[in-house]
Chain A
Amino acid sequence: MTTPLYGKYGGQFVPEILMPALAELEEGYQRYKDDPEFLKELDYYLKDFAGRETPLYFAKNLSKKYGTRIYLKREDLVHGGAHKLNNTIGQSLLAKYMGKTRIVAETGAGQHGTATAMTGANMGFETVVYMGAKDIERQLMNVYRMKLMGTEVHTVESGSKTLKDAINEALRDWVTNVENTHYLIGSVVGPHPYPMIVRDFQSVIGNEVKEQIMEKEGRYPDSIVACTGGGSNAMGIFHPFIEENDVKLFAVEAGGSGMTTTEHAALHSASLCVGEDGVLHGARTRILQDKYGQILESHSISAGLDYSGVGPELANLADIGRLTPRHADDDEALEAFHELSRMEGIIPALESSHALAYVMKAAQSGELGDLVVINLSGRGDKDLETVIKLEQGVKDEYP
């Protein structure tokens, strides 16, 4: 019946109640994605509200130290401090065109929630964001930002109290309020058509890089490196390059505090590296699960990567060998966080620090080639409290 969209991955594993809403969403997306008026408004928001295009910055000090030419795609300069706004602009506009009045979203680090709050406030939606209690604790600033912009933030106390549970709760809200509500999912995860829609709206990143790198270097990079939780910044920068087979794609997942698992939890969030085939949040993909299929809690120093699944298209790209999954652990990410701040005067998000950390680890090996683009998906201001606490030695509070 339904053909899986990405090799064996993808699909629509959702309650019956939502099936018509998914069909409506797909229909709406197909109708508006090439509509001149929609595109004009999208373009306006991306330029004048989000501040695109973002620079492709040559990191000269880093390049010198690691002996390879390193560029940073500065998504940290997007309004709100992360690439997340690219997607919320697109989906909020779509929801507006489809006549929805209410938006619900989940958030991990609070970046997607903040981006949703921004477009929600700007476009006049009633906006509700679900956030795990554990994430609320580690991202108070983002919670306050969302509230400032008129968003209702719901604390999720169930399960692991992180992103996966926030998604469950947002889905439950959508099931209940499906008629007037759009579920604005924040990553390339969930049931079809979400992975496709989010990827398309995030592809502005890779499309800009294509032009910028040609202008600066006269060629495409040898490799592109992006951190991967659900995978929206990775798919956004990878997608326009998928047909360019000479460009290697590296998805760097959170290695957390070790690549092992206990009975109910993984100490990492590396579903591409070590996850198994399964079904989570409406899609078949690679997930962290126990031998019975119960979902394992994940771990990462960065809330934005702390997720037990990954986008189905990324799982397929990994299966067919088009992308290479790698991981960097908490300590390596922290080191990279410091190093970029010190060497280039740019404070990266802890999420993006994983991509940086991997480049720092692998640059000498030659694996990355001579010209590397790193997706600097977000800025690190939101993480300062986490880092300060870690360095004051209260690591136990952030297990």
Chain B
Amino acid sequence: MNIPDKFSELRSRGESALIAYVCAGDPTPDATEGIVQALIHGGADIVELGLPFSDPVADGPTIQAASERALSAGMNSDRYFDLIGSLDVEVPLVCMTYYNLIFKRGIEKFVHDCKDAGISGIIVPDLPVEESEELAECCVKNSVDFIFLIAPTTTEERINMILEHGSGFMYLVSRVGVTGARSDVAESTNKLLSRVKTDIPKAVGFGISNGKQAKEVVEDGADAVIVGSAFVDIIASGNAVNARLEALAKELKDGILAAKR
């Protein structure tokens, strides 16, 4: 299933989506299938799988550590595509990675490999719209969604430019800063949601870690809630990982469903 179909399905039920992020190959490549299945059982509608990079500047300590674990366990771009291709899942998968890994593989090849592995969308946190022309064209040609981030600091002019080029969903960054679980959801979320006017689904991420926050974000008007570091923290603990991932995904999805819109 691709991303637009998933959102139409959810919209027909009046539901917002839970998008779960984990780093592929963390802590080992073998663990990823079980982790992804647990997230989906818990209620994840879309799964983002990070392709780890040695220098993840947009990520906080939690995802940095996950990237380091995955890289030490031997994760690389070839294994990533093998691994993702082997997953037995129905939900849309999204590849999140840094630009140098795409650039080095060759933009065309990278997008083809995504397509072949069953990946429906790509997020590149260090690639602003100005630098993204070639990748955008390639994504259109291969019907892979190219998902952009919009930050609280993004100007109106830039929002319009991003809306012109993005597809799948818009990744609204709830706060200035790097990724990582926080106890509160920034006030800027509400403002940003109302500034971004589009029919493309709006997903809010950065800092969300529990059902209560997820509910608030959906009540503010989000079509999807993105949660990463809170899942990665569970993986890092090594303790009853899959059961706890499933429980957290359920808590988040329940929060989303409880929201009054």
The residues of A with any CB-CB pair to B shorter than 8 Å are 1-2, 11-21, 158-159, 164-165, 168, 171-172, 175-179, 277-282, 284, 287, 289, 291-295
Q: Which residues of B (104-136) have their CB < 8 Å from a CB of A?
A: 104-105, 125-131, 133
Question: Quick check: is B177 within 8 A (CB to CB) of the other chain?
Answer: yes
Query: Whose C-beta in chain B lies nearest to the C-beta of A17?
Result: B151
Assuming A1-B133, A175-B176, is B100 touching A16 (CB within 8 A)?
no
State in angstroms the CA–CA spacing of A17 and B152 once bound together. Answer: 7
In the complex, are the beta carbons of A20 and B55 less than 8 A apart?
no
Question: Quick check: is B218 within 8 A (CB to CB) of the other chain?
Answer: no
Size range of the chain B interface in the assembly: 35 or more
Contact sample, A vs B, 20 pairs, CB 8 Å cutoff: A1-B130, A12-B131, A13-B127, A13-B131, A15-B128, A16-B158, A19-B158, A20-B154, A172-B178, A176-B176, A176-B178, A178-B153, A278-B100, A292-B76, A293-B100, A293-B101, A293-B103, A293-B104, A293-B105, A294-B53
Assuming A15-B125, A16-B173, A19-B128, is B54 touching A295 (CB within 8 A)?
yes
State in angstroms the CA–CA spacing of A51 and B129 once bound together. Answer: 44
Query: Whose C-beta in chain B lies nearest to the C-beta of A287?
Result: B100
Give every chain B residue within 8 A of A284 (Cβ-Cβ): 103
Question: Quick check: is B71 within 8 A (CB to CB) of the other chain?
Answer: yes
**Option from B100, B148, B154 in Cβ contact (under 8 Å) with A289:** B100
In the complex, are the beta carbons of A13 and B54 less than 8 A apart?
no
State in angstroms the CA–CA spacing of A289 and B150 once bound together. Answer: 29
Question: Quick check: is B222 within 8 A (CB to CB) of the other chain?
Answer: no
State in angstroms the CA–CA spacing of A1 and B230 once bound together. Answer: 37
State in angstroms the CA–CA spacing of A175 and B158 once bound together. Answer: 17
In the complex, are the beta carbons of A175 and B177 less than 8 A apart?
yes
Q: Which residues of B (165-190) have their CB < 8 Å from a CB of A?
A: 173, 176-178
Q: Which residues of B (67-118) have their CB < 8 Å from a CB of A?
A: 68, 71, 76-78, 99-105
Assuming A1-B131, A14-B128, A16-B154, is B177 touching A168 (CB within 8 A)?
no
State in angstroms the CA–CA spacing of A158 and B104 once bound together. Answer: 23
User: Shortest beta-carbon distance, A382 to chain B, in Å?
Assistant: 26
Assuming A15-B126, A278-B104, is B131 touching A2 (CB within 8 A)?
yes
Give every chain B residue within 8 A of A18 (Cβ-Cβ): 153
Give every chain A residue within 8 A of B128 (Cβ-Cβ): 12-16, 19
Give every chain B residue within 8 A of A287 (Cβ-Cβ): 100
In the complex, are the beta carbons of A289 and B57 less than 8 A apart?
no
Question: Quick check: is B143 within 8 A (CB to CB) of the other chain?
Answer: no
Give every chain B residue within 8 A of A278 (Cβ-Cβ): 100, 103-104
Give every chain A residue within 8 A of B61 (Cβ-Cβ): 158
In the complex, are the beta carbons of B150 and A16 less than 8 A apart?
yes
User: Shortest beta-carbon distance, A263 to chain B, in Å?
Assistant: 10
Question: Quick check: is B194 within 8 A (CB to CB) of the other chain?
Answer: no
Give every chain A residue within 8 A of B158 (Cβ-Cβ): 16, 19-20
Assuming A2-B130, A13-B127, A19-B158, is B176 touching A295 (CB within 8 A)?
no
Listed residue (B77, B151, B153) with the most chain A CB atoms within 10 angstroms of its CB: B153
State in angstroms the CA–CA spacing of A158 and B53 once bound together. Answer: 13
User: Shortest beta-carbon distance, B135 to chain A, in Å?
Assistant: 12
